[in-house]
Structure 1
Amino acid sequence: MLADYATHLRASNNKRGRPYAEKTVTAYTKAARTLDRWLGTSPQVSASQTAPAHGVGLGVAQPASFLDCDAQVLNVFFRAHYDGGEGERQGGTHTLQRNLRPFFKWLSEEYDHPNPYDDPKLQRYAHPTDVRPTTLSEEFIHDLLQITGGGNPRVRAFEKVRDHAIIRVLTEGLRAEELLSLRLDTLHLEQGLIGPVTPLKEARASGEGRFIPLQPKTVLAITRYLRARDGHKRASDPWLWLGTRGRDRLSYSGLYRMLNRRAADAGYGNPDNPESKSIVHPHQFRHTFADDLLSAGVSEGDVMQVAGWKDSTMLRRYAADMASSRAHAAVKRMGDRY
């Protein structure tokens, strides 16, 4: 059933009339697999049980398949996910609930299964509005750059040169998916540009996208990486970022592990310790990018243009972490007013 669902997603368009991105297909099918695992292992849904904190008397037998799931069963599932810490916070359960919605719509269309999302008894988990994205300190980014060679031209090791260039490009505000989708033909180093980068979900048509201006040190880091890349056995591949030990393009998990390994090398925790695996997340560089530009006096409209945001809501959210600091600095720059 899940294989059929994934095929359906890849053959369908989203609500904007665009094909689903593979990352979206993965997220939607992962949500359904999470429910599938719970159905097979959870003992807490029974005819006599009441959903924790919801007061929902199920009155149904232990569900054996997706087609046994109604609003009451999903209420117990989502609460178990929330209480079990898998959702990390309300936002994680909200994302899971949102990503399962297309699956139950598909079940309704293909199997004539009543859609529990149409039932007003389904408990909703809202996305938290008070969670601020965190920025990275200047010292932390500097340490990552230093531990990967500091831009020293004498450093020739492929992995160090590549990692240094990747960290430099992340400081330019690209999303992880955009960075990983870069190809050799998206480089315009003579003009100090990369682009067009992978467009947003709202703009995935051919020819759409945006160009990213690069700092001079980023251009230099990419140039040195290209020289090191020439000796890679997959050098003829079109993708910019190649894996180590002769492997092909870098994956998201590879990017995530690389950043946390480099952070550990720089003294920020131990990636082999489960409690310190999430030292840094690739998207934090994007938060920091927004703060850096606003702190430098770049207008909100220009930041939105470079970052690829069509709505200022995201700009305000990404820049919220350091808003007070920027406001204080702006007032101090005024000096004596009277």
Structure 2
Amino acid sequence: MAVTDFTHCDAPALNVFFRAHYDGGKGERQGGTHTLQRNLRPFFKWLSDEYDHPSPYDDPRLQRYAHPTDVRPTTLSEEFIHDLLQITGGGNPRVRAFEKVRDHAIIRVLTEGLRAEELLSLRLDHLHLSDGLVGPVTPLKEARASGEGRFVPLQPKTVVAITRYLRARDSHKRASDPWLWLGTRGRDKLTYSGLYRMLNRRAADAGYGNPDDPESKSIIHPHQFRHTYSHDLLSAGVSEGDVMTLAGWKDPSMVRRYAADMATSRAHSAAQKLGDRY
């Protein structure tokens, strides 16, 4: 039977489509089909939300194509972070839904290298957006009793994301609470488990992993953003000493530990930038 519109595009029909793509592809066919399947998931979710028609991605009969290197990395790829930001609205000012605006802002703040504890402990009086800073965040490890803390510089897009979240936050029934990040459905302060679930839910929304498979639910954890932050700074030529200061470390071994998985890549890039030396 010929497919006439999306209501006929159910799980069996998609299985035929994805299998044909897999069999007809070249090179890393499994990875290419995984990418196609991941990219179509938000489209069918939108159709489901708009037309109240069951999404084939919710059907257990849908065959899943995993990425050939579907192993959770220590450092997150640029594509992965970009997909998380896009699935939460991409910074579009027309997106007003509290949960999307909040999640987008949280993901952007995580890219600034804060620990999960530091992010969740942020209060409204920690914001210094006119200066592009938040702080002082949770005191440095081994210095908590002294009341020390550090200020974290924010990228311009992170400042914009927080500003938009604050506008959405004003309509929350717990808006008078001091904590920056509030829960959905009128709940108070966001917890670590809530943060963890949110990130993995957004990863699934973006097409990473199968949310119906218990083994695929732990696609990402908050601390991976901190590893990625260290790698990004070192790749940009920031000195180890400055990375230590920005991240709140006292021991240089922490810099090497957090960015170890991409050390070879950075070394190769540095050597290639030298060009022809003789």
TM-score normalised to structure 1 length: 0.60
1:297 to 234, 237, 256: 237
The equivalences for 1:214-253 within 5 A come to 214-253=154-193
- Name the counterpart of 2:20: none
1:203 Cα deviation after fit: 1.3
2:269 to 319, 323, 329: 329
Give the C-alpha shift of residue 208 in structure 1.
1.0
The alignment's C-alpha RMSD in Å is 1.2
Q: How many residues align?
A: 207
In the alignment, is the contact (CA less than 8 A) between 1:133 and 1:320 conserved in 2? no
Q: Alpha-carbon deviation of 1:199?
A: 1.1
Structure 1 match to 2:97: 157
**Deviation string, structure 1 residues 215-237 (Cα, Å, up to 9, x no partner):** 00000000000000000000000
SS of structure 2 residue aligned to 1:149? coil
Distance 2:256 2:233 in 1: 13
**In structure 1, what is the Cα distance between the partners aligned to 2:77 and 2:134?**
25
Matches within 5 A, 1:157-196: 157-196=97-136
Write out per-residue CA displacement over residues 166-222 of structure 1, whole angstroms, 9 at most, x where no aligned residue. Answer: 000000000000000000000000000000001134111354100000000000000
Counterpart CA distance in 2 for 1:302 and 1:237 is 34
Render the CA deviation track for 1:48-84: whole Å, top value 9, x for unaligned: xxxxxxxxxxxxxxxxxxxxxxxxxxxxxxxxxxxxx
Find 1:276's aligned residue among 180, 201, 216: 216
Indicate conservation of the 8 Å contact 2:140/2:150, yes or no: no
Greater Cα radius of gyration, structure 1 or 2? 1
Which ranges of structure 1 fall in alignment gaps of 5 or more residues?
1-131
**AA in 2 matched with 1:162:** R
CA contact (8 A) 1:195 1:210 kept: yes
Alpha-carbon spacing, 1:133–1:268, altered in 2? closer, same or farther (3 Å)? closer
Q: Which runs of 4+ in 1 moved over 4 A?
A: none
Distance 1:177 1:194 in 2: 14
The 5 A counterparts of 1:1-338 are 134-205=74-145, 207-338=147-278
- Alpha-carbon spacing, 1:199–1:287, altered in 2? closer, same or farther (3 Å): same
Letter of the structure 1 residue corresponding to residue 229 of structure 2: F
Distance in 1 between residues matched to 2:79 and 2:126, nearest whole Å: 30
- Name which of structure 1's ranges 200-209 and 157-166 shifts more when overlaid on structure 2: 200-209
Partner Cα separation in structure 1 for residue 172 and residue 81 of structure 2: 27
- Structure 1 position 292, deviation (Å): 0.1
Contact (CA 8 Å) 1:243, 1:250: kept in 2 or not?
yes
Q: Secondary structure at the match of 2:117?
A: helix
- Looking at both structures, which has the greater relative contact order when contacts are Cα pairs under 8 Å and sequence separation is at least 6? 2
